[in-house]
Structure 1
């Protein structure tokens, strides 16, 4: 039994090193500014130092002009941590975090309306 457990642990460590993913952070969107924004978000920091933000399959936004995805902290949108235009209103989408953005500096993900400078949805990260 001990041999099987050790083999399993060795295989698990090898898989982590191979695929490069480390611990992730996640949250769920709450609509803001009279918009309906729902679904989950996950941030993964990879072993190579890169990070990705993934809006889950269940993500949904009711619509708005010029929606963006960005980090924020303590109730404030961070324009310097903008990840780009929201790719679509529903479903899974993946955004690469620029090397200039330290994900440790933020505790929220925003769906932000650039045109009217208002939040459309915010997910607190845990």
Structure 2
């Protein structure tokens, strides 16, 4: 009787460990894909505005015939770059886009990375060439990654100072691991 109790107890512990492990690691995500097809704010191949400085990324404007300043008529790419892989193969590009109303958004073009259990999009002050650990702090969280493939647009929270942003990162919160990072370089 006592041997049976031990076997049932060990089996129970193993089942709980298996369930917790599956919840944490979600290994099936290695073989699944989610695709997004958001309308891009600025079409592929558009170049960044000329002579942009870090200060002008938040105050970009145009002089009107009356001598007053006005925001640009449409969305403008102020910085962009191609993804490089960190923990997982990642391809595609990211752009920081200034919106006509003065806000900003980040758009991913042709993103292709692995799916994961707890992925987020971060704006980081760390350059894209930094060690992976640098991306896990000091960031602005743009929210959960909606899909691991395709075109996506993420709104930058109002009031965010984008002048110090150097990269955009796909980050797994659960394991403190970067999937991919793209530099946000002015053109």
TM-score band (shorter)? 0.7 to 0.9
TM-score (norm 2): 0.54
Q: Which has the higher strand share?
A: 1
- C-alpha distance in structure 1 between counterparts of 2:84 and 2:116, whole Å: 15
- C-alpha distance in structure 2 between counterparts of 1:123 and 1:111, whole Å: 9
Structure 1 unaligned residues grouped into runs of 5+ = 1-12
1:102 is displaced (CA, Å) by 1.2
Larger displacement relative to structure 2 (82-91 or 93-102)? 93-102
Out of 86, 102, 112, the position equivalent to 1:49 is 102
1:72 is displaced (CA, Å) by 1.1
The aligned length equals: 109
> Where do residues 1-126 of structure 1 align in structure 2 (5 Å cutoff)?
17-19=72-74, 21-33=75-87, 35-56=88-109, 58-74=110-126, 75=130, 76-77=134-135, 78=137, 80-126=139-185
Asked if the contact 2:123/2:140 (under 8 Å) is kept, the reply is yes
- C-alpha distance in structure 2 between counterparts of 1:23 and 1:80, whole Å: 21
Instruction: Pick closer, same or farther for the CA change 1:17–1:100 going to 2, 3 Å.
Output: closer
SS in 2 for 1:104: helix
Cα RMSD (Å): 1.9
- C-alpha distance in structure 2 between counterparts of 1:71 and 1:42, whole Å: 11
TM-score (norm 1): 0.77
Q: Which has the higher helix share?
A: 2
1:80 is displaced (CA, Å) by 4.4
Structure number with bigger Rg: 2
What residue in structure 2 maps to residue 9 of structure 1?
none
Asked if the contact 2:73/2:100 (under 8 Å) is kept, the reply is no
1:23 is displaced (CA, Å) by 4.3
Instruction: Pick closer, same or farther for the CA change 1:65–1:106 going to 2, 3 Å.
Output: same
Asked if the contact 2:142/2:157 (under 8 Å) is kept, the reply is yes
